[in-house]
């Protein structure tokens, strides 16, 4: 009987240990920059998240859908109940028009991947009329 009691206790502890998982929860998963002027340069947004699980959350990698978008993120493990951030910068240079970019977050969360989205419209720098230059005469 003692063996069965010990076995049962071990089984319960292992089930509890396996159920402890981190859960990444973002305040928002999309951000619309609206209309931004190309001449004003890069635009940046910070996606805040909380570990709503009961084990440390580790963001392993954050990957943007193109080179015009640069993510930086909290590298150290985020304890249960604590917060972290992913900062996303979009380079507006020579990219007039509408844009939609995805940022994939890889972590030890049960889903393993979360997708963030940024959108907006880049208003191009107005073209300067060429200065009237006198034509050379012969």
- What DSSP element (H or E) covers 18? helix 2-19
Q: Which residue has the tokens 């010990």?
A: 6
Residue 30 lies in a domain: yes
What burial class does residue 84 get, using C-beta atoms within 10 Å of its C-beta: 0-12 exposed, 13-18 middle, 19+ buried?
Answer: buried
Tell me which residue range forms the domain holding 76.
Answer: 21-123
Whole-number Å distance between alpha carbons of 88 and 32 = 12
Q: Give every strand in the sheet of 69-73, ordered side by side.
A: 24-26, 43-51, 83-90, 69-73
Question: How many structural domains compose the chain?
Answer: 1
Count of all residues that appear for the chain in the document? 138
Q: What is the mean pLDDT of each run of 10 residues along the chain (138 residues)?
A: 57 54 97 97 97 96 96 97 98 96 96 96 87 58
- Please tell me the pTM assigned to this model: 0.79
Residue 136 lies in a domain: no
Residue 130 lies in a domain: no
């Amino acid at each position: 009987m003692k063996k069965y009691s010990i076995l049962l206790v071990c089984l319960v502890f292992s089930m509890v240990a396996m159920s402890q998982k981190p859960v990444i929860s973002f305040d928002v998963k999309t951000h619309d920059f609206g209309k931004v002027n190309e001449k004003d340069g890069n635009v940046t947004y910070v996606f805040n998240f909380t570990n709503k699980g009961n084990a440390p959350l580790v963001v392993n990698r954050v990957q943007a859908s193109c080179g015009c978008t640069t993510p930086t993120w909290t590298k150290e493990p985020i304890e249960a109940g604590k917060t972290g951030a992913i900062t996303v910068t979009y380079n507006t240079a020579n990219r007039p028009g509408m844009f939609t970019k995805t940022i994939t977050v890889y972590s030890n969360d049960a889903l393993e991947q979360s997708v963030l989205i940024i959108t907006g419209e880049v208003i191009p720098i107005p073209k300067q009329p060429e200065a009237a230059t006198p034509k050379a005469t012969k």
